[in-house]
Amino acid sequence: MLIQKLKKSYWLRPALSLSLISLSFTAYHQALVDTDLVRLQKDGSLQYKADAKGNTLPDFSNVGYHSGEKQWPNVPVVKTISPAAEGSSEQIIQDAINEVSARAPDANGYRGAVLLKKGKYLVPGTIRITKNGIVIRGEGNTANGTCIVAIAAYW
């Protein structure tokens, strides 16, 4: 009888522990999703709510080349740059974009790609791309890859 009780308690404790972990994960997960600014709908979509000033969270669902629905084009690199040794890289990036913007588009409408070599590019202002057909490409998205850092404080 004692052996049977011990055997039962061996499976009961792990089962109880797993249940508690499951419940706490569900509560934690729900707390991450359920805020005043965005709600997860039953169909899996997100519903955004404006704050008192009318601001809403940006919806990045359609970000990317053709909303992420098409493969990236293989646009040849026509300009390669490196970050500034010190300070802002804004003008380096802008000059490269302007140079590629001056090129005529190819049959597919591409002017060329600007390759940002590995490193940290500090940008205190705004980079402007005023023409179509320009691709900005980096060398990896790791800590040792290409990183563009916005350093402006507008508010």
Are 80 and 146 in a shared domain?
yes
Mean of the per-residue pLDDT values of the chain: 82
Domain membership of residue 86 (yes or no) is yes
Residue whose entry in the numeric block shows the structure tokens 């005043």: 36
Closest to 152 in 3D by CA, of 134, 114, 125 = 125
Domain membership of residue 40 (yes or no) is yes
Q: What is the pTM of this model?
A: 0.61
Nearest-angstrom CA–CA distance, 92 and 30: 45
Domain membership of residue 65 (yes or no) is no
Q: What is the pLDDT of residue 37?
A: 83
Give the range of the structural domain holding residue 125, as residue numbers without chain letter: 76-150
Are 33 and 80 in a shared domain?
no
Are 37 and 89 in a shared domain?
no
Q: What is the pLDDT of residue 22?
A: 55
Domain membership of residue 67 (yes or no) is no
Cα separations in angstroms, 142 against 42, 70, 74, 85, 114: 35, 24, 22, 20, 19
